[in-house]
Amino acid sequence: MRIKANVAATVLPVLFIVGIFLSSAVGYWKTESSKNSTKFTTGIFEGEADPADIRGSYSFSDLEKAFDIPVATLAKAFGFSSSENPEGIKLKEFEERYGIIGDFEIGTSSMKLFTALYKGLPYEPEDDTGIPQPAWNILNKEGATEKETLETYSERVVSLEGLEVSTKTAEHTEKSEETIIKGKTLFSDLLNWGLSKEQIDDALGMSMEAPGDSVRDFCSENGIGFSTVKTPLQKLLDNM
Amino acid sequence: MKKKVKIRTWIQLAMFIFVAIIAVNHTLVESGKGIPFLSRASLHAVCPFGGVVSLYNIITDGTFVKKIHESSMVLMYIVFVSSLFLGPLFCGWICPMGTFQEWTGIIGKKIFKQKYNRFIPYSIDKYLRWLRYGILVWILYMTAVTGKLIFQDFDPYYTLFQFWTGEVAISGFIALGLVIILSLFVERPFCKYACPYGAVLGIFNLFRIIPLRRNSDTCIDCKLCDRVCPMNITVSKAGKVRNHQCISCFECTSDDGVCPVPGTMEFRTNSYKASPLGSEKVTK
């Protein structure tokens, strides 16, 4: 058999088209994260989805599929109304909507903790991970975690009553909105606001990479809790 | 004769534009302005090398390296299948980085003419050609250990198609700058000396089902094949080209390239039958 250039020219494009078509047909072709948390591979929870692998890019709908918790329950737990189209709400929006309340933060880690307690799965929260009051009420009512164990998390409960407006309003009046660390904040923003690379590295516990990276994505990729980085950095900014 | 070769240029151009559109659209998607009907895929998602670097993680714990998805695995398998038959067709026809180097090399050819791609002495060059395997091993090891795309910060391909995003490390810009400068002197320098994916696909040359064959009975020893080869392979001395650097570009072939004698330089499965005239040559 002899192969000419016109045949070579068609081989790969045709294989690409056929391969992508077939893999799409069987549901294997994916160009984005599958939103399926990794599963416990050992112990009594083997085969169960691991709440620790929940990411900010997950929507309530993704969580419903992965952990079998109804979207309505998730929305109610985190203070979203049904008119806000809760199916599409992504966890990373929590940080902009609530952020730090008192000593605790309502963010993606809060959902990890809620999911773990709701399903009775193991999860080690960060020190400043908060639980919204509505979520706490749901956990007490229908969560799989025993009351005694649940009670050990009671000091993390934060009220959302009025906070959505008052907290943000207070923050906005005290400091410029530009210097509030949010989910979209880039390392370059921190540098522009006056922090040094050394201060950022200290907070991260490792060297930051490209200035164009978002702090949250960097933390997510390196297994660092965003809130554990955000809090000390925000304090540094507040003291400037 | 040139017209026949042009089909490769068209395929290269189309793939370069396609990848550029994918890269730009991904940036637009992230800012909420993606072009409708176009894939939201990232550059990583459409790179078959992502599948290669993910193999260890997939085998050991069933997960992909961060930023890599199933699509990279599919593309990796497809390219492997094509390489099993035709060698690194991907390098010669599809890879936008190879295309970019060829385009840059056009300037070098105009400047240096015959001297272009002949600057590095063979005694040094033959060792430098193994450098890409060292880079491949380093990348596979580091990616396996860290679970991250360790090569991203040094990858001129990533830099070329993401330079506007602010996500490219300075080392990436340095790598791309070096490739551009070197391309003015050497054809496809990144492919020859540093490309880890080229290293993987180059291995297929050793056992590909359809190799490049030279009919020594009809060959007139004009050496045009040697001169045109972008990878500096001495094609004119081989009966069957098994060089790990061949990129299946067809530039040296009789039907589609520079070889002036029909049926002398071809990609074919079976060997040439010995001529009844023995070693008698066909004259030009």
If asked whether residues A153 and A181 sit together in one domain, one would say: no
Pull the structure tokens for residue A139.
Answer: 């956990």
Let me know: does A39 contact A48? Beta carbons within 8 Å: yes
If asked whether residues B185 and B80 sit together in one domain, one would say: yes
If asked whether residues A81 and A142 sit together in one domain, one would say: yes
If asked whether residues B254 and B123 sit together in one domain, one would say: no
Distance from CA of B159 to the nearest CA of A (A): 13
Chain A residue at shortest CA distance from B65: A221
Domain closes at, from A97, A129, A158:
A158
Position B189 in a domain: yes
Position B275 in a domain: no
pLDDT, position A174: 42
Position A128 in a domain: yes
Contacts of B93 in chain A (CB under 8 A): 8-9, 12
Distance separating the N- and C-terminal Cα atoms of chain A: 74
CATH number at B231 reads 3.30.70
If asked whether residues A154 and A192 sit together in one domain, one would say: no
Write the single-letter amino acid at B6.
K
If asked whether residues B261 and B230 sit together in one domain, one would say: yes
Contacts of B248 in chain A (CB under 8 A): 8
Position B86 in a domain: yes
Contacts of B257 in chain A (CB under 8 A): 5
Position B129 in a domain: yes
B223: region left, alpha or beta (phi > 0 left; psi from -120 to 50 alpha): left
pLDDT, position B281: 47
If asked whether residues A150 and A212 sit together in one domain, one would say: no
CB contact under 8 A, B89 and A11: yes
By CB neighbour count within 10 A (0-12 exposed, 13-18 middle, 19+ buried), where does B123 fall? exposed
User: What gap in Å lies between CA A121 and CA B221, rounded to an integer?
Assistant: 74
Task: Show the 3-state SS of chain A.
Answer: CEECHHHHHHHHHHHHHHHHHHHHHCCCCCCCCCCCCCECCCCCCCCCECHHHCCCCCEHHHHHHHHCCCHHHHHHHCCCCHHHCHHHCECCHHHHHCEEECCEEECHHHHHHHHHHHHCCCCCCCCCECEEHHHHHHHHHHCCCCHHHHHCCHHHEECCCCHHHHHHHHHHHHCCHHHCCCCCCEHHHHHHCCCCHHHHHHHHCCCCCCCCCEHHHHHHHCCCCHHHHHHHHHHHHHCC
The DSSP secondary-structure symbol of B269 reads S
If asked whether residues A140 and A228 sit together in one domain, one would say: no
If asked whether residues A140 and A187 sit together in one domain, one would say: no
User: What gap in Å lies between CA B91 and CA B110, rounded to an integer?
Assistant: 24
pLDDT, position A47: 84
Of B89, B268, B270, the CB nearest to A12: B89
- Go through chain B and tell me how many residues it has: 284
User: Residue A144: which residues within 8 A CB-CB, separation 6 or more?
Assistant: A117, A118, A119, A120
If asked whether residues A56 and A142 sit together in one domain, one would say: yes
- Domain limits for position B263: 211-268
Distance from CA of A4 to the nearest CA of B (A): 7
Position A66 in a domain: yes
pLDDT, position A194: 78
If asked whether residues B193 and B241 sit together in one domain, one would say: no
How many domains does chain B contain in total? 2
If asked whether residues B17 and B101 sit together in one domain, one would say: yes
Distance separating the N- and C-terminal Cα atoms of chain B: 16
pLDDT of B174 over the 50 cut: yes
If asked whether residues A88 and A132 sit together in one domain, one would say: yes
User: What gap in Å lies between CA B97 and CA B197, rounded to an integer?
Assistant: 11
Distance from CA of B249 to the nearest CA of A (A): 8
- Domain limits for position A87: 51-158
Chain B residue at shortest CA distance from A33: B69
Pull the structure tokens for residue B119.
Answer: 């600057």
Disruptive mutation site among B46, B74, B80 for chain A (greatest number of A CBs within 10 Å): B74
If asked whether residues B159 and B235 sit together in one domain, one would say: no
pLDDT tens digit at each of 240 positions of chain A: 889 999 999 999 999 999 999 999 998 998 876 666 677 878 888 888 889 888 777 888 888 988 999 998 999 998 888 777 788 787 877 877 888 888 888 888 899 999 999 999 999 898 889 999 999 999 998 888 888 898 899 889 888 776 543 333 344 334 445 677 877 788 877 877 778 888 888 888 888 877 777 787 788 777 777 777 887 888 787 776
If asked whether residues B123 and B192 sit together in one domain, one would say: yes
Domain closes at, from B157, B180, B205:
B205
If asked whether residues A151 and A196 sit together in one domain, one would say: no
Rg of chain B over Cα atoms, rounded to whole angstroms, equals 20
Of B166, B168, B255, the CB nearest to A4: B255
Interface of A with B (CB under 8 A): 1-6, 8-9, 11-13, 15-16, 19-20, 23, 28-34, 38, 41, 186, 188, 209-213, 221
pLDDT, position B147: 77
If asked whether residues A72 and A132 sit together in one domain, one would say: yes
The DSSP secondary-structure symbol of B173 reads H
Beta bridge partners of A2: B268
